[in-house]
C-alpha cells in the first residue's frame, strides 16, 4: 500500500510540474536548462531632414539650435534651421590632435573623444571646445590605455561612460582583435569604476571595427553605431554578468560613426552618412524591453 501511495504522489507531482509550464522531465544530471537570449527586435528609423556638411565624415553633435559636424581635425558649426555653416575649427594635419571622433554639446561646451588612431600603442584624450566660436578650451589626457582607443564619451551619474575600440585592421594590436572593444565607467576624476563587454551579436556585426559612436537615449538604453553599416544597436544593462544585452537593431539610413541625441526634441537623433558627407536627423522608434526580463536601464 505504501508503494502505491508513493507512486501516486510522484505522478501527481509530475502532472503539476507539466501544468506549471516546467516542460519535460528534469535532466538526469540535475543540470539547469540552457540559456536562451531574448529575441532581438528589428525596428526602423524615419529620416526627417538631411544637411550638406563636408566635415560629416566622423560624427556629429547637436544642441537646441546648432549641429557640429566632425572629421578628425576639423569641426564645423551649422544652424539647424538654415543649414548654414557659421563657425569652423581646424587643427593642422599631423598636429597635436589627430582623430576627433564623437562629441556631445553641453551648455556652452563641446566635449570630444580624441585618439591617436591609427598609431599604436593606443593613446586617447578628451578635448573641450567653446561651442560659441569653437575655440579650444582645455584637454584631459588619458594616455596609453589597455582598454583601447577612445571613441565616445557620455556623462553618467557623477562620472563618465566611455567607449573603447580595438581593431582587426589598421590601428589594431596583433594580440587584441575587435572583440576586445568595450564600455568603461569612470568617476569624475577619470578613475575606472567598472565596465561591460559588448554582446557577441553586436561585435560580429561591427567587425573588423568596433563601436564608433554611442550615447544613452532618453529611454535609458545605450545606443551604439558601428563603422559603416546602416544599422544601430540598442543595448541594456544585464541583471547579472559582465556583458550588455542586445535588445534591438534599428535600420537607419546613415552609414556613419558618431551621433548625438537632440535633447530639444522627442526621440530625435542626429547622425552622419560618411559616403555623402551629410548630416541627417531621424525620428527614432520606441524600443520596448518587456521581451527581455533580464534587461536593465542605464539610470
In a domain, 28, yes or no: no
Region 76-103: mean pLDDT is 95
Q: Mean pLDDT check: name the lowest of 2-11, 30-39, 63-72.
A: 2-11
C-alpha pair distances (Å), 116 with each of 126, 148, 201: 12, 11, 28
Q: Residue 123 forms beta bridges with which residues?
A: 144
Task: Report yes or no on 16 lying in a domain.
Answer: no
Other beta carbons within 10 Å of 224:
25
DSSP 96: S
pLDDT exceeds 60 at position 23:
no
The answer to whether residue 184 is domain-embedded is yes
Cite the DSSP H helix spans in the chain: 2-19, 200-206
C-alpha cell at 112: 570630444
pLDDT range class, residue 226, cuts 50, 70, 90: confident
Between CA 23 and CA 211 the distance in angstroms is 40
Nearest to 202 by CA among 34, 40, 10, 25: 40
Q: How far apart are alpha carbons 166 and 61 in whole angstroms?
A: 23
Predicted pLDDT of residue 292: 92
- Rounded Cα gap, residues 266 and 264, in angstroms: 7
Residue 8's φ and ψ, nearest 5 degrees, are -65, -45
**pLDDT of 212:** 82
Supply the pLDDT for residue 281.
98
The residue segments making up the domain with residue 81 are 38-296
pLDDT band for position 37 (cuts 50, 70, 90): confident
In a domain, 29, yes or no: no
Q: What are phi and psi of 181, to 5 degrees?
A: -65, 150
Does any domain span residue 161?
Answer: yes
Q: CATH number for the domain including 113?
A: 2.120.10.30
Q: Check residue 25 and give its pLDDT.
A: 58
The enclosing H or E element of 110 equals strand 109-115
Q: Point out which residues pair with 251 in neighbouring strands.
A: 44, 231
Q: Which residue has the cell 575587435?
A: 178
Average pLDDT over residues 64-79: 97
Domain total of the chain: 1
Amino acid at each position: 500500500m505504501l508503494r502505491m501511495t508513493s507512486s501516486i504522489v510522484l505522478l501527481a507531482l509530475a502532472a503539476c510540474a507539466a501544468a506549471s509550464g516546467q516542460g519535460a522531465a528534469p535532466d538526469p544530471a540535475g543540470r539547469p536548462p540552457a540559456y536562451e537570449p531574448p529575441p532581438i527586435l528589428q525596428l526602423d528609423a524615419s529620416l526627417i531632414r538631411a544637411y550638406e556638411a563636408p566635415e560629416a565624415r566622423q560624427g556629429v553633435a547637436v544642441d537646441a539650435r546648432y549641429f557640429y559636424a566632425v572629421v578628425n581635425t576639423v569641426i564645423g558649426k551649422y544652424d539647424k534651421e538654415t543649414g548654414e555653416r557659421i563657425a569652423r575649427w581646424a587643427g593642422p594635419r599631423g598636429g597635436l590632435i589627430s582623430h576627433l571622433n564623437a562629441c556631445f554639446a553641453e551648455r556652452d561646451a563641446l566635449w570630444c573623444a580624441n585618439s591617436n588612431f591609427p598609431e599604436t600603442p593606443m593613446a586617447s584624450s578628451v578635448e573641450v571646445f567653446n561651442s560659441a566660436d569653437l575655440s579650444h578650451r582645455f584637454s584631459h589626457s588619458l594616455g596609453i590605455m589597455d582598454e583601447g582607443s577612445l571613441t565616445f564619451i557620455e556623462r553618467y551619474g557623477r562620472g563618465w561612460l566611455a567607449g573603447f575600440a580595438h581593431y582587426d585592421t589598421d590601428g589594431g594590436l596583433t594580440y587584441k582583435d575587435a572583440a576586445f572593444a568595450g564600455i568603461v565607467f569612470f568617476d569624475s576624476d577619470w578613475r575606472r569604476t567598472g565596465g561591460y563587454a559588448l554582446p557577441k551579436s553586436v561585435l560580429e556585426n561591427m567587425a573588423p571595427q568596433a563601436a564608433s559612436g554611442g550615447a544613452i537615449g532618453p529611454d535609458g538604453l545605450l545606443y551604439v553605431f558601428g563603422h559603416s553599416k546602416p544599422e544601430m544597436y540598442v543595448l541594456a544593462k544585464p541583471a547579472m554578468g559582465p556583458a550588455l544585452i542586445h535588445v534591438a537593431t534599428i535600420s537607419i539610413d546613415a552609414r556613419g560613426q558618431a551621433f548625438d541625441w537632440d535633447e530639444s526634441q522627442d526621440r530625435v537623433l542626429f547622425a552622419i552618412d560618411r559616403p555623402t558627407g551629410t548630416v541627417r536627423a531621424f525620428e527614432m522608434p520606441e524600443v520596448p524591453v518587456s521581451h527581455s526580463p533580464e534587461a536593465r536601464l542605464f539610470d
